[in-house]
Chains A and B, each alone.
Chain A
Amino acid sequence: MALLEIRDLSKVYQRDAQRIPVFEGINLNIVAGEFLVLMGPSGSGKTTLLNLVAGLDEPTTGTIRVSGAEVTAMSRRDLAAWRSHHVGFIFQLYNLLPVLTAYQNIELPLLLTHLSKQDRREHVMTALEVVGLSDRADHYPRQLSGGQEQRVAIARAIVSDPTLILADEPTGDLDAQSAQDVLTLMQRLNDEYNKTILLVTHDQRAADRGHAIMHLDKGVLTG
């Protein structure tokens, strides 16, 4: 069975009387352990699709299932809880709260669990180690480079051991070297830790790191 199952998904934005269809009737299966890259021109609806999968937005029609749970049928409240357990999200920008240290940022998702302070500490330190920033635990985001910030964001996305990692252009704002570091890290998460990843990118070199590439264009998804 697929880890992520998207059936007949449509998203139509309604602005006043105007109908703005983003995509209609999309179908997609992602099996566990997959590293899928989603590409497409600007405005094609990649972010919209990712937001729908994460339950941050509601589709017009269609269903999304993650490990059998029907995301599209959950209440806002249930979604929040579900998201904290099952989805790690990495944005292009504004991932970290500027007033919290790297450690505190990574700890945030764990505050929604019942883990003790000691257990949380272990998880956070492990995540920091995975992204290679153990020595930066007490640094604030402004004291980190853009690449390091994204790695902290990745550490936060994996700290609660989610099923699915969604990344929306995580390297879009980085220089070439930092982008390579971040991508290498994501590849390792997939290889070594067997994380299922859906990565949105414009960058062909980023796309090459994945197992498969899908294209979203004019509302149609092609493999």
Chain B
Amino acid sequence: MKIPLIYNIRSVRRRPVSTLATALGMGLVVLVFIAMMALSRGFRAAIVETGSRENVLVVRSGADNELMSGLSRSTAQTIISMPFVAKGPEGRPLASPEIYVLVSLERLAEGDALVVARGVSPQAFEVRKDVKVIAGRMFNPGAPEILVGKSIVGRFAGTEIGETINFASRDWTVVGHFAAEGSAFESEIWGENEQFMPAFRGEVFQSVTFRMYDPADFESIKQTLESDPRLTVSAQREYNFYANQSVLLTQVLSFAAIFIAGIMAIGAVFGAVNTMYAAVSARAPEIAVLLTLGFRPLSVLSSFLMEALVIALIGGMLGCLFALPLNGIMTSTTNWASMSEVAFAFRVTPDLLLRGVIFALAMGLIGGFLPARRAARQPIVQAARRP
């Protein structure tokens, strides 16, 4: 690599139109790649940040999600009274036997979507320390009142404080909004479990979430619960339970990102190949001079590869520039694992930008190789004779 890089940088600058066109092509690919990865990351983050490592979530044995689960009142009671369940200041167990149902709500934009309605115990906000009422107030036990997660406020009709939402043949008054650090809880509606239970399925809870006295005891707690013949339940850390729900969609999104960007990349690579072949043939006399001076063919090869990389770097940075404004934009999708709508933000992280740039460089390397090899292999004499 003895031919100075400045040679390539200036050569690239000398043909700004073709350089920019090529770089732009790569930039668009990088944009699509980063956007789709940011989507996948945002979704994953929303789901993965749902739930705590200090909590245990119990569902009926064999149920992958809360929707499929059912626990009787006595089962819930048995779990809550176990000694490893942490207690609150007034000695009440930090546990929340929960109702989990999907309700169809009217989107403000258009159409309906399924939203999680979760009936929780009054202790739920202590069990889940990250969930906080940010506007209005907590629901009153015994009243048909609900709290709306902040991601769906303004996305669905009737979600403002004081408004009412009708589901399960009843009107529910919105008394507050809550936040949960960006997690999927923010896409849910919470009310009191004892209010939701009669309105929906009758005498069953879907899950019990409780705080452990000592999170280090999880394995033995799991063992105790799962081997108890009265219960037939499965217990997971709350964090893992939700994280597992993100795996499928995250993988599909990441695959789509690579697949779609990959197909687009083929086009961009051809663009780079064209540009570089044009550069090599236009600069045949210059290449002859370099070879005559004693630069080795390998140096010429790496010099032209470097030039392709310079263009690719510009493309990669353009792509990052295009992608940056996406960061934080809210969007939503149906979480296949729970069948409900989850709202989340695109996450354009520095490591994604870096990957975008690396993606662009890879395109440059692939697109630059054949033209660079032609440059290195051209007979000196032939090139020098050209007028």
Contacts and interface: CB of A to CB of B under 8 A. Distances in A.
Given A94-B286, A111-B2, A112-B2, A99 B295 contact: no
A89 B290 CA distance: 11
Interface residues of A, number: 29
B229 interface: no
B380 A111 contact: no
Contact of A80 (B13, B295, B379, B385): B295
A77 B298 CA distance: 10
B385 A84 contact: no
A49 B291 CA distance: 18
Contact of B11 (A56, A81, A83, A99): A99
A40 interface: no
B296 interface: yes
A104 B294 contact: no
A56 B289 contact: no
B14 to A, nearest CB: 6
B381 A111 contact: no
Given A94-B285, A100-B7, A76 B297 contact: yes
> Interface residues of B: mostly helix, strand, loop or mixed?
helix
B170 interface: no
Nearest to B288: A94
Interface in A88-125: 89, 91, 93-100, 104, 108-109, 111-112
A51 B286 CA distance: 17
A154 to B, nearest CB: 14
A33 B11 CA distance: 39
A57 B381 contact: yes
B86 to A, nearest CB: 69
A98 B289 CA distance: 11
Contacts of B6: 100, 104
Contacts of B285: 93-94
A126 interface: no
Interface in A25-53: 47, 51
Interface string B354-387: 0000000000000000000000000111001101
Contact of A83 (B13, B286, B292, B379): B292
A56 B378 CA distance: 12
A93 B383 CA distance: 12
Nearest to A109: B293
B4 interface: yes
Interface string B1-42: 011101100110110000000000000000000000000000
A82 B295 CA distance: 11
Given A56-B381, A94-B286, A83 B7 contact: no
Nearest to A54: B292
Sort chain B's interface into a size bin. Answer: 20 to 34
B292 A97 contact: no
Contacts of B384: 51, 56, 91, 94
B294 A99 contact: no
B293 to A, nearest CB: 5
A172 B286 CA distance: 19
Nearest to A88: B293
A99 B14 contact: yes
Contacts of A57: 379-381
Nearest to A81: B294
Nearest to A99: B10
A15 to B, nearest CB: 13
Contacts of B293: 83-84, 89, 108-109, 112, 156
A131 B90 CA distance: 96
A155 to B, nearest CB: 13
B272 to A, nearest CB: 20
B196 to A, nearest CB: 73
B9 to A, nearest CB: 9
B289 A84 contact: no
B287 to A, nearest CB: 10
A91 B384 CA distance: 8
Nearest to A57: B381
B7 A112 contact: no
A139 B79 CA distance: 85
Nearest to B2: A111
B294 A112 contact: yes
A76 B10 CA distance: 29
Q: Which 5 pairs from chain A and chain B are nearest by CB?
A: A84-B294, A99-B10, A94-B285, A83-B294, A56-B380
Interface of A: 47, 51, 54, 56-57, 76-77, 80-85, 89, 91, 93-100, 104, 108-109, 111-112, 156
9 contacts: A51-B381, A80-B296, A91-B289, A94-B285, A94-B384, A100-B6, A109-B293, A112-B293, A112-B294
Given A93-B285, A99-B13, 16 more contacts: A51-B380, A51-B384, A54-B292, A56-B381, A56-B384, A82-B294, A83-B292, A83-B293, A89-B292, A94-B384, A98-B14, A98-B286, A104-B4, A104-B6, A111-B2, A112-B295
